[in-house]
Amino acid sequence: MENNSIVKIGILGCANIAQRSIIPEIIKLNKLFELIGIASRDITKATNCADKFNTKPFLDYQSLIDDPEIQAVYIPLPNSLHAEWINKALDKGLHVLVEKSLACNYNEVNQLNKKAEEKKLTLMENFQFRFHSQLAEIKKMVDDGVIEELRTIRSSFGFPPFPDDDNIRYNKNLGGGALLDAGAYPLKISRIFMGSDIEVASASLKYDPEKEVDIWGGATIKQINGDLFSQVAFGFDHYYQCNLELWGSKGKISTNRIFTAPPGYEPTILLETSQGTKEIKLPADNHFEKMLIHFQKTILHPEIAIKEYSQNNLQAKLIEQLKNKANE
């Protein structure tokens, strides 16, 4: 692709996150993307969703990825369908943005990464919070030494039960469970602050015997050749939490809505030191927009896309390790 190319993108599925947060931003970024169409296996859903966004409906996923206009796809399907449709999209030479978790196990992720790398295609797992100014400011504070040596990371993401028992997150066959959903976030942020030389030291998962999926859990992540560690917790049966705490030798940084800040939300970072407590208020930011800008850059610049492969693999490895440790 030429550096000034507009990426022609299609959407596999009509998931809430696609309609609420991703497709509207794709349309706004009309100098970077052109929305070609939306696919669903449900004719009514495909038609209604396409009409809503003034684009073309595709009545099955295959017909969308077969369309010669399409250069990239966004996949917000249930986890169990990710590997199949990522694989088919890559075989068609399409760049892929996929909702977390990228696939249901490490072997699938590793194989998909290898294929994407061989074909020089982007394969990017959507953790939009990576691009929020809230996280950037916290990273700068740590790098600037405002709490001196970082010793411990704590992060939680959990929410009350879903009102409908038919929710895909409760469906074992669709790759449901808290770990592949809510649990992916605190694991990701642990890697951001700890680097790649990490492993799961201990873990726990609580399963619902009727739904046959994990509904809450936690883990301790440690550096293999260092002293820093992270404590993570997540779940579907909780009082709402979405936070990050960084405890250093001379202070502590904490914040809320670290993973899910909506575009109009103005984050607050709390800095505690021996000098007292300081609130740092930040302007609102749009991490969905920034994430899509980054995705487009990875397509135009393959050297940026390469970094996504290792991130994908490490994330999948941590999930697999957590699962194994919990089942020991």
Which residues are identified as catalytic? Answer: 100
Average the pLDDT over 292-307 and give the result. 96
DSSP 157-217: EE-PPPS-TT-GGG-GGGT-STTTTTTHHHHHHHHHHH-SSEEEEEEEEEEETTTTEEEEE
215: tokens are: 């509904």
How far apart, in whole angstroms, are the C-alpha atoms of residue 185 and residue 77? 18
Is the pTM value of this prediction over 0.85?
yes
Task: Give per-residue pLDDT as tens, 110-131.
Answer: 999 999 999 999 999 999 999 9
Please name the helix (run of DSSP H) or strand (run of DSSP E) that holds residue 318, with its range, or none.
helix 302-326
Task: Give per-residue pLDDT as tens, 120-179.
Answer: 999 999 999 999 999 999 999 999 999 999 999 999 999 999 999 899 999 999 999 999
What does DSSP assign to residue 122?
-
How far apart, in whole angstroms, are the C-alpha atoms of residue 154 and residue 168? 28
First to last CA, the chain: 48
How far apart, in whole angstroms, are the C-alpha atoms of residue 306 and residue 326? 31
User: Largest Cα–Cα distance of the chain, in whole Å?
Assistant: 62
**Residue 273: helix, strand or coil by DSSP?**
strand
Helix ranges (DSSP H) in 29-180: 43-52, 61-66, 79-91, 106-118, 133-143
Complete domains list, the chain, with CATH? 7-126 (3.40.50.720), 132-285 (3.30.360.10)
How far apart, in whole angstroms, are the C-alpha atoms of residue 219 and residue 245? 15
